[in-house]
Amino acid sequence: MNWDRIEGNWKQFRGKAREKWGKLTDDQLDVIAGKRDQLAGKLQEAYGYSKDEAERQIDSWESDLPDDGSTQYRGRPS
C-alpha cells in the first residue's frame, strides 16, 4: 500500500488504525490526518514505543492493508 493513498483516504483508513491501536482517540486520529510522522509520534506517546518501534508498527500495519485501495484489512491478529 502506498502511503500517499492512505493519507488521501485517511477517513476510510482511520477506522483500521483505531482497530490496530485502540489507545488512539478519535481526536488524535483527526490530528494525524494520514500523516505518517504524526501517527508515529502518537504511537510513541500512547504506547511508549521508541521511534524505531513505532515505524515498525506502521510498516506492519501498512503491509497488511490491501493493495487494491479498499479498506478491507488483511491484518494478522495482534
Query: Nearest-5° angle of CA 37, CA 30, CA 21?
Result: 65
List, for residues 22-78, the tens digit of each pLDDT value.
999 999 999 999 999 999 999 999 999 999 999 999 999 999 988 765 545 445 544
Find the distance separating the first CA and the last CA of the chain, reported in whole Å. 20
Q: pTM for this one? A: 0.82
Q: Which domains does the chain have, with CATH numbers?
A: 3-64 (1.10.1470.10)
pLDDT of residue 73: 47
